[in-house]
Amino acid sequence: MLLTLSYRNIWRNKRRTLITAASIMFAVFFNVVMLSIQRGAWQNMVDSVVHFYFGYAQIHQKGYWQDQSIDNTLSLAEVDTQGLTRLTDVDGFVPRLESFALASFGTQSKGVLFIGVDPKFENALTHLDQRIVSGSFLNQGGVVLAQGLAEYLKADLGDSIVFISQGYHGVNAVGLYPVTGIVHFPAPDLDRQLAFLRLSDAQWFFGAEDRITSLVVNTQHPDKLTRITGSLRAHFNAEQYEVLDYTEMIPELLEAKAFDEAGGKVILWLLYIIIAFGIFGTILMMMKEREYEFGILKAVGMKSKQLQLMVWFEMTILMLMGSLAGIILALPLVWYLTVRPIRFTGKMAEAYEKFGVDPVMPAMIDPMIFLSQVLVVLIMVTIMMLYPMWVLKKLQPVHAMRH
């Protein structure tokens, strides 16, 4: 009965009802769109960094991440990769052997990051074969150069590059490899210094037979990363190996994300505070206009708790109307930005590509974003209802009807 009465009461003054519901609707609309774009942009950035090179997690010899020397390698034969793939939500592993070398062609020389990879596993994670500008990605052996590095060395397909380095435990590392492919990286710094060759060739070059510097974890379930890394750490001897996820390898990215989200929350709460004052003003006006009505209801026997519950129902219905309208209004826009994200050009695109991130700003459709806005408005309205509930409790019927 109280719920039915509350619903009828809110339409006794349609203008007040529509104004209050509209203010809630626009607050929810802007907050949902803003949060969806913010989280979508950061998810795109994390995915770009992870699939660009780092992976979601890596397994190293203990101490390698702090001292990235080729002497801190681990034996691939000692790692049961077949057993590891049976772990839940682990889709595979990408072995790598990487160190620095001096590349020379003609009169040009440059220090490069020389990386040995297995083409099949590497392409499954980073899709480097899709970034090939010319040639192929290690299908014919040889070396694959980043486009910026090839331009600096003035080398092209078929040219032979000399590489000089220091190998495992100080052995001399010298090799001559033909260029069989050129790959483009969006990040200019990486595009000027990366060179790839087959893992077996890199192990021979560095004198590190059957050894790798890192084993990168590939998974299609990043939301379960904590459990995956926990399973891997339980599997490996902590005295000999280290398992690091991307949040530990690139903490500055997570710090930037937390700082950006904190700034976004300030804007969201400022908007809600402004809306809260408008709603509270509406509540005060409603209480004053209906003082006589409340006095009559109390005089005919309605208890204070019933009166308070009726008013709370009224505001909750208004809140749900405004919130649902805001969600319905925001959903098509969020869906559109998810399917067709904002793509940057010019200087903004260059800034994104400098960090190896695709220059787009997509939205994210996350049910928790929509639900959280309804909960925030519900909590906000409930807090503001403390004042009218206190007034209704103290209300004297005779006094209310006289005024």
pLDDT band at 162 (very low <50, low <70, confident <90, very high): very high
Q: Predicted confidence band at 35 (pLDDT cuts at 50, 70, 90)?
A: confident
pLDDT of residue 55: 82
Could you count the other beta carbons within 10 Å of the beta carbon of residue 276? 18
Query: What's the distance, CA 246 to chain centroid?
Result: 12
312, 385 contact by CB (below 8 A): yes
Tokens read off for 247: 């949040």
- Per-residue model confidence (pLDDT) at position 222: 79
Residue pair 100/119 in contact by the 8 Å Cβ criterion: no
Q: How far apart are CA 70 and CA 206, in angstroms?
A: 8
Task: Check residue 351 and give its pLDDT.
Answer: 65
Distance CA 163, CA 193 (A): 13
pLDDT at 111 over 80: yes
The residue with greater pLDDT, 125 or 196, is 196
Confidence of residue 175 (pLDDT cuts 50, 70, 90): very high
pLDDT for residue 367: 86
Please report which confidence band the pLDDT of residue 109 belongs to, taking 50, 70 and 90 as the band edges: very high
More confident position, 320 or 351: 320
Residue 354 has pLDDT above 70, yes or no: no
Q: What is the mean pLDDT of residues 360-370?
A: 84
**Span of 42-46, 86-90, 240-244, 386-390 with lowest mean pLDDT:** 86-90
Contact assessment for residue 327 and residue 28, using Cβ atoms and an 8 Å cutoff: yes
Question: pLDDT value at position 357?
Answer: 67
Task: Count the alpha carbons within 13 Å of 185 in the hemisphere toward its beta carbon.
Answer: 25
Six-digit token pair at 118? Answer: 């297995």
Listed residue (395, 377, 399, 402) closest to 287, CA to CA = 395
φ/ψ (deg, to 5) at 77:
-70, -25
CA distances to 290, 298, 303, 400 from 287, in Å: 5, 14, 17, 11
pLDDT, greater one: 264 or 178: 178
Q: What is the mean pLDDT of residues 93-101?
A: 91
The structure tokens 């974003």 sit at 369
Q: Binning pLDDT at 50, 70 and 90, where does residue 4 land? A: confident
* Residue 154 pLDDT level (bands cut at 50, 70, 90): very high
What is the C-alpha separation between 96 and 252, in angstroms, rounded? 24
Cα–Cα distance, 171 to 161 (Å, whole number): 20
Q: In this model, does residue 1 exceed pLDDT 70? A: no
Residue 273: partners with Cβ closer than 8 Å, 6 or more residues away: none
Average pLDDT in the 233-250 region?
84
Query: Among 170-179, 237-246, 286-295, 357-366, which range has the highest average pLDDT?
Result: 170-179
What pLDDT, in 10s, does the model give residues 278-317?
Answer: 778 777 877 777 777 777 777 777 777 877 788 888 888 8
Alpha-carbon distances of 37 from 44, 350, 360, 362, 392, rounded to whole Å: 10, 20, 11, 6, 43
Q: Is residue 167 classed as helix, strand or coil in its secondary structure?
A: coil
- Which pLDDT belongs to residue 356? 62
Q: Predicted confidence band at 155 (pLDDT cuts at 50, 70, 90)?
A: very high
Question: Beta strands 194-198 and 211-212: pairing type?
Answer: unpaired
If you count them, how many residues does the chain have?
403
How far apart CA 187 and CA 359 sit, in angstroms, is: 11
Q: What is the pLDDT of residue 157?
A: 92
Whole-number pLDDT of residue 19: 81
Residues 6+ apart with CB under 8 A from 253: 45, 46, 49, 246
Residue spans of beta strands (DSSP E) within 9-146: 57-61, 74-75, 92-105, 108-117, 132-135, 143-146
pLDDT at 381: 81
The two tokens of residue 217 are 């974890």
Q: Which residue has the higher pLDDT, 51 or 182?
A: 182
The conformation of residue 53, written as its DSSP 8-state character, comes to: I
Beta-strand pair 211-212/160-166:
unpaired
The pLDDT, as a whole number, for residue 400 is 64
Please state which of the ranges 240-249, 304-313, 364-373 shows the lowest mean pLDDT. 304-313
In the 3-class helix/strand/coil scheme, how is 291-355 assigned residue by residue? Answer: HHHHHHHHHCCCCHHHHHHHHHHHHHHHHHHHHHHHHHHHHHHHHHHHHCCEECCHHHHHHHHHC
